[in-house]
């Protein structure tokens, strides 16, 4: 196995991702950052030099389990202190499983400022994958984009009354978009090369693997390649039982691989399109171009059609079906343990604290501590976090998930769930009505340090006496990010066998910021010697 070294300088740069000039957080001057390519078993070393003048950084390797290196997970407040301006922190970890992953900032709301990119882990040469050969792969990184700075967004979310981030101005594909009302913005330049759409070349008759990741801050997306059916073959680094779709629903934090064959008229170009679903769309379609080699159309030519508009934004049943259709490939089923040792039921609600809007789980809104849990727990530092564990369940028989709750007041805590090492844990995420009547959103939940089996989805109220009997224990897909659909529930299972402290949270940037997350600890006593570089904040300040 190889060791792959990267040197990254994090800095602010003016970019024009959607033709509008904005200060973005970049890697070596670019957003998105470079795609990290490796082969299974390789070691990745990334020396991150924070050259921002006044802002901290931490980078999370989303989907990489960090087995034996929990301090390299890059989650500020959980696994490390932030990287201070002027400092360099070196992440070193093994990519032990082939698949499509991503990386992004995990400090405040910095991810939305542009610090993100993809990770591609190939199978070792000569090792077959459970689908036919393909010519090459293309990477597609989907994002949403705001003209306001992330500072302004974060300050707005913490204000009374709340200033919500609102719908994104643009949708980006590989960092490129186009703001439609360009003439309304003085800082807009349609001729700027940053905003010319990405072009994906194909040779007529060949098959391609498109590796797709969504790093959106808010938006659930639907992705389509005009005129080309997609066969879904991978989800979050796991082979799925192939299924064919016209378009693909993808939530923030998810990755997919699809195969497409270039079997259409080669003399014209086709749109790649991303559209907002699950929220009333206030953002135009994100676009890129599929172009045939040797055809009569110039590679950058605008396709002659209008871009696909995607399914109806509120067709929850359509998106629910794709979730249920995503199961393990028959030759790659990893059977889940038949039963769990512990069940944690988490009710997702929108709440108020002192006039501020928050999100909570079982009526606890999460806050990050100043001392990373990993250091506090491994070192036994007292008073670094709330030692009372958050509640295991809620009043599932009595809570009316279809209505606005009567008393939305809640409390904050940075308590965490301590899991018995190697035990099997079930988590059921129950969605509910928000503070506004007749509304419930999709929440993509992401677990650090593990893949979980997706055992089931349902609409309405989860009943612990009934629904576990309907779980798919035969061929559930393993994932690291899963959707909890509006007014629905999602059940998952994992084995707590990766020593460390791991965040589990909604991947909508603003939701996590507003408290929508929990933390799990398992086997922290088995974690090896902590690198001193992760310390230096909170109770770890001044000496290790």
Residue 443 binds which entry of ligand C2O, Cu ion, none, with Cβ cut-offs from 5 to 8 Å by kind? Cu ion
β partners of residue 419:
522
Cβ distance to ligand C2O smaller for residue 443 or 461: 443
Query: 438 Cβ partners below 8 Å, 6+ apart?
Result: none
Supply the DSSP symbol for 469.
G
Between residue 102 and residue 131, which ones bind ligand C2O under the rule CB under 6 A? 104, 106
Q: How far is the CB of 507 from Cu ion (least distance, A)?
A: 7
Cβ distance to ligand C2O smaller for residue 211 or 446: 446
Dist. CA 279–CA 198, nearest whole Å: 26
Choice from 21, 22, 60, 65 touching ligand C2O (CB under 6 A): 60
N- to C-terminal Cα separation, the chain = 33
Q: How far is the CB of 104 from ligand C2O (least distance, A)?
A: 6
**Residue 215 backbone phi and psi in degrees, to 5:** -115, 25
How many other β-carbons are positioned within 10 Å of the β-carbon of residue 153? Answer: 23
Beta strands in 203-313 (DSSP E): 207-214, 220-225, 230-235, 238-245, 247-250, 255-261, 270-277, 286-292
Choice from 328, 508, 524, 527 touching Cu ion (CB under 5 A): 508
Strand 443-447 versus strand 481-484 pairing type: antiparallel
Residue 60 binds which entry of ligand C2O, Cu ion, none, with Cβ cut-offs from 5 to 8 Å by kind? ligand C2O
Angle at 322 between CA 318 and CA 327, to 5 degrees: 160
506 near Cu ion (CB under 5 A): yes
Residue 450 binds which entry of ligand C2O, Cu ion, none, with Cβ cut-offs from 5 to 8 Å by kind? none
Between residue 72 and residue 91, which ones bind ligand C2O under the rule CB under 6 A? 75
Cβ distance to Cu ion smaller for residue 19 or 218: 218
Cβ distance to ligand C2O smaller for residue 253 or 336: 253
Choice from 511, 521, 535, 536 touching Cu ion (CB under 5 A): 511
Residue 506 binds which entry of ligand C2O, Cu ion, none, with Cβ cut-offs from 5 to 8 Å by kind? Cu ion
Residue 104 binds which entry of Cu ion, ligand C2O, none, with Cβ cut-offs from 5 to 8 Å by kind? ligand C2O
Whole-angstrom CA distances from 57 to 41, 108, 115, 322 are: 27, 9, 10, 36
Between residue 476 and residue 515, which ones bind ligand C2O under the rule CB under 6 A? 503, 505, 507
65 near ligand C2O (CB under 6 A): no
Asked if 18 and 190 count as a contact pair (C-beta separation under 8 A), the reply is no
Supply the DSSP symbol for 466.
T
Of 230, 245, 265, 378, which is closest to residue 321 (Cα–Cα)? 245
Residue numbers at the binding site for ligand C2O (CB under 6 A) = 60, 62, 75, 104, 106, 253, 446, 448, 503, 505, 507
Q: Which residues bind Cu ion (CB under 5 A)?
A: 443, 506, 508, 511
């Amino acid at each position: 196995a190889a060791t792959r070294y990267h040197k990254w300088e994090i800095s602010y740069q003016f970019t024009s991702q959607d033709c509008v000039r904005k200060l973005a957080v970049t890697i070596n001057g670019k957003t998105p950052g470079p795609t990290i390519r490796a082969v299974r078993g390789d070691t990745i070393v990334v020396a991150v030099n924070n050259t921002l003048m006044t802002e901290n950084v931490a980078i999370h390797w989303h989907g990489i389990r960090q087995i034996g290196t929990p301090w390299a997970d890059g989650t500020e407040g959980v696994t490390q202190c932030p990287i201070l301006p002027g400092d360099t922190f070196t992440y070193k970890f093994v990519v032990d499983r082939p698949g499509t992953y991503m990386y992004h900032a995990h400090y405040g709301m910095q991810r939305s400022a542009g610090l993100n990119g993809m990770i591609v882990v190939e199978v070792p040469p000569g090792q077959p994958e459970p689908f036919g050969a393909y010519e090459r792969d293309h990477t597609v990184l989907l994002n949403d984009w705001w003209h306001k700075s992330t500072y302004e967004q974060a300050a707005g979310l913490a204000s009374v009354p709340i200033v919500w981030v609102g719908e994104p101005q643009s949708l980006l594909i590989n960092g490129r978009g186009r703001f439609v009302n360009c003439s309304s913005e003085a800082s807009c330049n349609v001729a700027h090369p940053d905003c010319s759409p990405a072009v994906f070349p194909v040779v007529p008759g060949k098959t391609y693997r498109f590796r797709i990741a969504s790093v959106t801050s808010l938006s659930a997306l639907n992705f389509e390649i005009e005129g080309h059916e997609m066969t879904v073959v991978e989800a979050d680094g796991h082979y799925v039982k192939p299924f064919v779709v016209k378009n693909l629903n993808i939530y923030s934090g998810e990755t997919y691989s699809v195969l497409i064959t270039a079997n259409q008229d080669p003399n014209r170009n086709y749109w790649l399109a991303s559209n907002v679903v699950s929220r009333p769309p206030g953002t135009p379609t994100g676009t890129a171009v599929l172009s045939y080699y040797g055809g009569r159309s110039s590679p950058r030519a605008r396709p002659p059609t209008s871009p696909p508009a995607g399914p109806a934004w509120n067709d929850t049943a359509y998106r629910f079906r794709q979730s249920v259709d995503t199961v393990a490939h028959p030759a790659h089923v990893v059977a889940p343990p038949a039963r769990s040792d512990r069940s944690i039921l988490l009710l997702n609600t929108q709440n108020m604290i002192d006039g501020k809007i928050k999100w909570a789980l079982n009526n606890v809104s999460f806050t990050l501590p100043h001392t990373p849990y990993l250091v506090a727990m491994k070192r036994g530092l007292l008073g670094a976090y709330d030692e009372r564990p958050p509640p295991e369940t809620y009043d599932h028989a009595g809570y009316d998930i279809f209505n606005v709750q009567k008393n939305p007041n809640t409390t904050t805590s940075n308590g965490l769930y301590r899991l018995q090492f190697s035990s099997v844990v079930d988590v059921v995420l129950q969605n509910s009505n928000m503070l506004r009547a007749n509304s419930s959103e999709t929440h993509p939940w992401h677990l650090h340090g593990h893949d979980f089996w997706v055992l089931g989805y349902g609409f309405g109220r989860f009943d612990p006496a009934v629904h576990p009997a309907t779980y798919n224990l035969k061929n559930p897909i393993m994932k690291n990010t899963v959707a909890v659909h509006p007014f629905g529930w999602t059940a998952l299972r994992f084995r707590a066998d990766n020593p460390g402290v791991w965040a589990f949270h909604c991947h909508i940037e603003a939701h996590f910021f507003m408290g929508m997350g929990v933390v799990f600890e398992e086997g922290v006593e088995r974690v090896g010697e902590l690198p001193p570089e992760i310390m230096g904040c909170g109770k770890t300040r001044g000496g290790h």
